[in-house]
């Protein structure tokens, strides 16, 4: 019933945590106080590979206020087996162990932690720790090393699934396109630096405020590594200052802070510096080889997509890099490979739309190039190869409104005004280019739990150990709960980010709305059932005689008889008559089996206008229209923000972001926010988001697909394609900086 006042799903709502965020009340990991708090500052390796031959901590220890300098020489005994260090998001291999031994595996490896009474002294003392290394030659590039690439024993996500005979398909092709696409390593760089505040209680238990995308992941890691019971460690993370994947694995500041707290019997805070934010996981650099074959009409006869990606010496990081080329278009012959090349650097880490944003960049640029060879509109080429079946699995899509994305996006953007000739549109010395690309992201539902508690004052408290990294989780869960029980938004509070709460998956993969949302809905339905059980016992009153949930409606703060809406009761009235002080329900939800018969993806069509200065090669993205098929949109306001953010990320990837490896030192040289360029306000012009109607009753009970990632996928390729259209110059190595256009 859409005309009730408590119908919140699908309607814009301001963030319920907005006030906390604009007043500074929202507390992040490094902001929780503790009596007698001490400060740890990390000393990072200056070399990329080698051995520590000497650590001189005497000067640091001589400073008043310095409590200890932890190194591999004096660290406590720790868990022995690799699996104890393997967190929920760990790729196969041997996880890095901070302060494990004298070996240096990557530049900026943490090699000491200085703990002092105050931050300034710890920072100064850290500068006094003298380290002598014996260096070994390092390799920190994948360029010219493709012959060393190997197939990993195990893929973290999807294994490449080829089909047909690509060689035959290419032989049949009338037109072919072959090219190599590449992009550098990138770093997440959330605004909040990774931090952990470990508060030690008198009984020795730890309360850990950690920057993480999953408190339970941090808790498991700590208990396994330090041999503690879960009851001894509570991890709390109510606010996360951005993460984008960087909080999917426990980072070393957590290990170091916990170790120091246990050893010193003090509360400890460790905050990484911005420079140290470049010392752990990052988006891996890839080199991708694409071959497309098609008929003269543009029907694909073969797709070859081979990806080569960096990984560390100690873990085989993979992501779904190439499978997009098997699912996005109709083609019988697809050849895929995803190989790794080891470097003396930290293991890559999932970064917003891992694999998708990079693999689809290559595929969608290749499709654009093929369109020019065919003299066909790039949009037409996509429609020619459109498929309603995921041919990589031979499954129908649970829903796929990509055609509507193309149509609505093209119309809004004015795609029809595009002159197909490259370098044909200009205003004076400004070249104008239009480009488009398709995006896709897999929809996932994970096992999740939530608890709902209804009080006699009509207040509902819902909890789950999930996270809100800026995604709007607090708000949409509040909306789902309020609507399910027909309560005003103001009566509902949602709590997250605490290991004391019901189990939830890591916040990643765009699956939180689907997973935790389903659990929240189910928990509130559990409350409905319990209220119904009491209603069934009512001998008199407006709801007497009601036997089934279908007979009533939870709306406007009431339980309303459907057959006669004038008959209704307040929720607390039912509780009072039943003599209940509170009603609670804890429910765990899992994906339904029938999902297995379908492929579930969100899709997008991204249209971009760029202006390129003919003389200087400067590029401005003046307009972006991103049309999204993302299932049901719970909150159009926060949903739009998610997609806007994704577009901005796509712009960063296309034009700015690059973690520059200084090869002689094996170190990311631009390790700060002045030299690692991300889009700033002045870079952003007209961004438009369209959510196309998409009904899907298969993906999950809410029909939501998740929006954290689909906004970035496709954007970089659309920009690259627009730059080509503007200039006639094809740059196949991101970011497209002006020097590459010269």
Partner 1 sequence: MQKTAEKENLEKASVALPPTHTVTLKVNNTEKQLQLAPWVSLLDALREYLGLTGTKKGCDHGQCGACTVLVNGRRINSCLTLAIMEEGNDITTIEGLAKGDALHPMQEAFIQHDAYQCGYCTPGQICSAVGLLSEGKAKNEHDIKELMSGNICRCGAYTNIVAAVQDVMQQKGDPANE
Q: Would you say 226 or 511 has its CB closer to partner 1?
A: 511
Point out the catalytic residue in the list 192, 364, 656, 709. Answer: 709
Non-local CB neighbours of 329 within 8 Å, separated by 6+ positions: 300, 303, 367, 382, 385, 386, 387
Q: Which residues contact 494 (CB under 8 A, 6 or more apart)?
A: 16, 461, 462, 463, 464, 473, 474, 477, 478, 481, 520
Contact 654, 716 (CB under 8 A): yes
| Closest distance of CB 405 from partner 1, Å | 20
Of residues 78 and 644, the one with the C-beta less far from partner 1: 644
On whether the CB atoms of residues 672 and 607 are closer than 8 A, the answer is no
Give the full edge-to-edge strand order of the sheet including 130-135: 103-104, 50-56, 130-135
Burial call 168-183: b when 16+ CB within 10 Å, e when fewer:
ebbeebebbbebebbb
Do 718 and 623 form a contact (C-beta atoms < 8 A)?
A: no
CB of 61 to partner 1, least distance (A): 10
- d(CA 279, CA 193) in angstroms, rounded, equals 12
505 versus 679: smaller Cβ distance to partner 1 = 679
Task: Report yes or no: 250 and 218 within 8 Å, Cβ to Cβ.
Answer: yes
With beta carbons less than 8 A apart as the criterion, state whether 140 and 661 touch.
yes
Between 64 and 579, whose beta carbon lies closer to partner 1?
Answer: 64
Task: Using alpha carbons, select from 459, 430, 464 the residue that is nearest to residue 448.
Answer: 464
Nearer to partner 1, 277 or 717 (CB): 277
- Closer residue to partner 1, CB minimum distance, 88 or 683: 683
Q: Whose Cβ is closer to partner 1: residue 268's or residue 452's?
A: 268
Give DSSP secondary structure letters for 311-330. E-SSB------STHHHHSS-
CB of 274 to partner 1, least distance (A): 4
Applying CB under 8 A, the residues found at the interface with partner 1 are 14-15, 17-28, 30-31, 33, 59, 62-65, 118-121, 124, 128, 189-193, 239-244, 271, 273-274, 469-472, 637-638, 640-642, 644-649, 672-674, 678-684, 687
Query: What's the Rg (C-alpha) of the chain?
Result: 27
Longest CA span, the chain: 86
Contact 385, 299 (CB under 8 A): yes
CA 566 to CA 553: how far, in whole Å?
12
- CA of residue 292 relative to chain centroid, distance: 30
If the CB atoms of residues 5 and 118 are measured against partner 1, the closer one turns out to be 118
Token digits of residue 640: 């739009």
Smallest distance from the beta carbon of 281 to partner 1, in angstroms?
16
- Annotated active-site residue 656? The verdict is no
Q: Are 487 and 493 in contact (CB under 8 A)?
A: no
**Length of the chain in terms of residues written:** 742
DSSP assignment of 550-595: GGEEEETTEEEETT-TT-EEEHHHHHHHHT-S-EEEEEEE---GGG
CA distance 298 to 149: 33
- Read off the tokens for 394: 């031979």
Residues 209 and 499: their CA atoms lie apart, in Å, by 11
Closest CA to 441 of 577, 588, 606: 606
Minimum CB–partner distance for residue 355 and partner 1 (Å):
21
User: Would you state the structure tokens that stand for residue 523, as one six-digit string?
Assistant: 């928990």
* Residue number with CB closer to partner 1 (148 or 675): 675
E strands of 387-428, at which residues? 389-390, 395-396, 425-427
Strands 206-210 and 110-116: unpaired
Cβ nearer to partner 1, comparing 523 with 647: 647
User: In the bound complex, what is the minimum distance in angstroms from residue 31's beta carbon to partner 1?
Assistant: 4
Catalytic residue annotation: 709
């Amino acid at each position: 019933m859409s005309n009730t006042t408590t119908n919140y799903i699908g309607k814009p709502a301001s963030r319920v945590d907005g006030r906390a965020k604009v007043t500074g009340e929202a507390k992040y990991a490094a902001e929780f106080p503790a009596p007698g708090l001490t400060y740890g500052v990390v000393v990072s390796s200056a070399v990329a590979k080698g051995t520590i031959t000497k650590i001189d901590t005497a000067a640091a220890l001589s400073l008043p206020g310095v409590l200890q300098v932890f190194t591999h020489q004096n660290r406590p005994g720790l868990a022995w087996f690799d699996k104890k260090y393997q967190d929920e998001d760990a790729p196969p291999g041997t996880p890095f162990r901070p302060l494990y031994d004298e070996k240096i595996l990557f530049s900026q490896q943490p090699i000491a932690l200085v703990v002092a009474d105050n931050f300034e002294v710890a920072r100064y003392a850290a500068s006094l720790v003298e380290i002598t290394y014996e260096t070994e030659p390092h390799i920190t590039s994948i360029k010219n090393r493709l012959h060393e690439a190997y197939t990993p024993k195990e893929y973290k996500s999807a294994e490449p699934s080829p089909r047909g005979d690509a060689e035959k398909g290419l032989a049949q092709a009338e037109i072919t396109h072959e090219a190599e696409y590449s992009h550098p390593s990138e770093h997440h760089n959330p605004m909040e630096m990774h931090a952990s505040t470990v508060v030690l209680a008198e009984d020795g238990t730890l309360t850990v405020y950690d920057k993480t995308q999953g408190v339970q992941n941090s808790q498991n890691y700590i208990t396994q590594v330090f041999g503690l019971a879960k009851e001894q460690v509570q991890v709390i993370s109510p606010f996360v200052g951005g993460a984008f994947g960087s909080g999917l694995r426990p980072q070393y500041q957590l290990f170091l802070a916990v170790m120091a707290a246990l050893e010193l019997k003090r509360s400890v805070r460790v905050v990484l510096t911005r420079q140290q934010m470049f010392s752990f996981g990052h988006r891996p650099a890839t080199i991708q080889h694409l071959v497309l074959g098609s008929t003269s009409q543009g029907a694909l006869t073969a797709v070859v997509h081979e990806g080569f990606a960096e990984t560390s010496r100690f873990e085989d990081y993979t992501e779904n890099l190439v499978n997009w080329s098997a699912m996005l278009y109709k083609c019988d012959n697809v050849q895929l490979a995803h190989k790794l090349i080891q470097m003396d650097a930290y293991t890559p880490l999932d970064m917003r739309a891992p694999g998708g944003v990079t693999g689809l960049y290559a595929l969608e640029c290749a499709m654009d190039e093929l369109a020019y060879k065919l003299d066909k509109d790039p949009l037409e080429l996509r429609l020619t190869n459109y498929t309603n079946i995921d041919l990589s699995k031979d499954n129908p899509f649970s829903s796929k409104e990509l055609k509507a994305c193309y149509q609505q996006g093209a119309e809004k953007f004015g795609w029809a005004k595009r002159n197909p000739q490259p370098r044909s549109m200009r205003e004076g010395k400004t070249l104008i280019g239009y480009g488009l690309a398709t995006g896709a992201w897999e929809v996932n539902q994970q096992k999740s739990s939530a608890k709902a508690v209804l009080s006699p004052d009509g207040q509902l408290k819902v909890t789950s150990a999930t996270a809100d990294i800026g995604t709007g989780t607090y708000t949409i869960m509040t909306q789902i709960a309020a609507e399910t029980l027909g309560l005003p938004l103001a009566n509902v509070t949602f709590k997250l980010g605490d290991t004391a709460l019901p189990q939830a998956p890591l916040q990643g993969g765009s699956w939180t709305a689907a997973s935790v949302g389903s659990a929240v809905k189910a928990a509130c339905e559990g409350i409905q059932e319990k209220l119904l059980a009491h209603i069934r016992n009512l001998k008199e009153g407006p709801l007497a005689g009601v036997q089934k949930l279908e007979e009533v409606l939870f709306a406007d703060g009431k339980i309303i008889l459907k057959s006669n809406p004038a008959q209704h009761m307040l929720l607390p009235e039912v509780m009072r008559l039943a003599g209940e002080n509170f009603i609670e329900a804890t429910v765990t939800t899992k994906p339904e089996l029938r999902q297995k018969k379908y492929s579930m993806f969100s899709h997008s069509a991204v249209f971009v206008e760029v202006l390129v200065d003919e003389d200087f090669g400067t590029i401005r993205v003046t307009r972006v229209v991103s049309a999204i098929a993302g299932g049901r949109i719970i909150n159009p306001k926060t949903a739009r923000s998610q997609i806007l953010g994704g577009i901005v990320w796509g712009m960063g990837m296309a034009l700015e972001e690059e973690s520059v490896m200084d090869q002689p030192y094996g170190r990311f040289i631009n390790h700060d926010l002045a030299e690692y360029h991300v889009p700033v306000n002045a870079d952003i012009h007209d961004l438009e988001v369209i959510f196309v109607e998409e009904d899907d009753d298969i993906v999950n009970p809410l029909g939501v697909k998740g929006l954290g990632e689909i906004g970035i996928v496709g954007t970089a390729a659309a920009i690259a394609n627009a730059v080509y259209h503007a200039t006639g110059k094809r740059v196949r190595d991101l970011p497209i900086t002006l020097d590459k256009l010269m």
